[in-house]
Amino acid sequence: MHYKYYIVLILMFGVIFGSCTQKSKENSDKKVVSVAQYEKTTPRVDTIAYKKKLRALANGDTSGLWPVKSRVYPLKGALLPFKRIVAYYGNLYSKRMGVLGQYPPKELWEKLDSEVHAWEKADPSTPVQPAIQYIVDVAQGTPLKDGTYCMRMPAQQIDSALTIARMGNAIVFLDVQVARSDLQREVPRLEKYLKMPQVNLAIDPEFSMKDGSVPGHKIGYMDASDINFCSKYLAKLVIAYHLPPKILVVHRFTQGMVKHYKDIILRPEVQIVMNMDGWGGPALKYSTYKRYIYREPVQFTGFKLFYVNDLKKPPHRMLTPPELMKLRPQPIYIQYQ
């Protein structure tokens, strides 16, 4: 009697579970089709103008690396490569982490505007889009209660960064240093902001301590799978909220900071910038750019300039826009710290 009862329960469970599994599979398939339909029906950028601009950015490179060979064209409304982004970076709590914490908003914008004008003069063919890049997750040298070494900025501070950006019609990058946390935990926390059309994402492998090290004691790393997680997450937001393509910035200044770059997936909804993030004299910065950005092409390139650290060693000066315009490829994203 009990045996038959168990058989009935098992059969009922099998039917219900099978039905749920089938429905789940059908729903999953519908989502995949939905994404495919979205990409199929949503207009792309002018591909002729896009490829022409990519060739211009390659700046005569004959290696075959640039422009990147890809059949993935961004959706209409993509910012890159039609505009160059010039970003000010930092955290409002700290004067040591970048210019955002060093000046009041009005003075900050006077300085950023001067950099924008310098780039417009160096490359009149490319309009400049100013940006505010705010570090929302800051890696710490001492543990927090959750053990992540990751200090998350309060909402009012992020809102302040967005307010500063609006003063100059700037776009925004939320910069994430995960420390002992991970992107799967930290990025969804920012969805409230990433749903906004002007807000983008930046991730910093230097402070991704996958081996449990303390941030600042060694250089961390991220894998292509980490970058793919972010781009897929952003792509879903673009589709769900009918947003213009998002931009994902990945900082890099060593070989080991980004692993398996060839496995990075390009998507129509997301534009990826590999940003040369090292400081030092011109020769060192040129070398770093060539080794880790030029030789391992992903999609677009960036170059970071430090108002303080780049002056520490001879010849004690920053590189200028005309000098950076000679690079192959020319960086389409410029960051000042």
Encode pLDDT of 222-243 as tens digits.
Answer: 999 999 999 999 999 999 999 9
Q: What stretches in the chain show pLDDT beneath 50?
A: 1-33
pLDDT of residue 69: 93
Cα separation, 73 vs 38, in Å, equals 14
At the topology level, CATH places domain 47-336 in TIM Barrel (3.20.20)
Give 33-70 pLDDT, tens digit per residue. 367 778 778 899 999 999 999 999 999 999 999 999 99
Domain regions of the chain by residue span: 1-41, 47-336
Determine the pLDDT at residue 39. 77
**320 Cα distance to chain centroid:** 24
The H or E element spanning position 282 is helix 282-289
- DSSP-derived 3-state class of residue 120: helix
pLDDT given at position 35 = 75
Q: pTM for the complete prediction?
A: 0.89
Task: Give strand pairing partners of 84.
Answer: 128
> Minimal CA–CA distance to 257: which of 288, 303, 302?
288
Between 105-122 and 155-167, two packed helices, what is the crossing angle to 10 degrees? 50
pLDDT of residue 249: 98
Nearest to 303 by CA among 137, 57, 68, 55: 57
Neighbouring C-beta atoms of residue 161, cutoff 10 Å = 25
Q: Which of 316, 327, 302, 318 is nearest to 84 (CA)?
A: 302
- Alpha carbons 188 and 194: distance in angstroms, whole number: 9
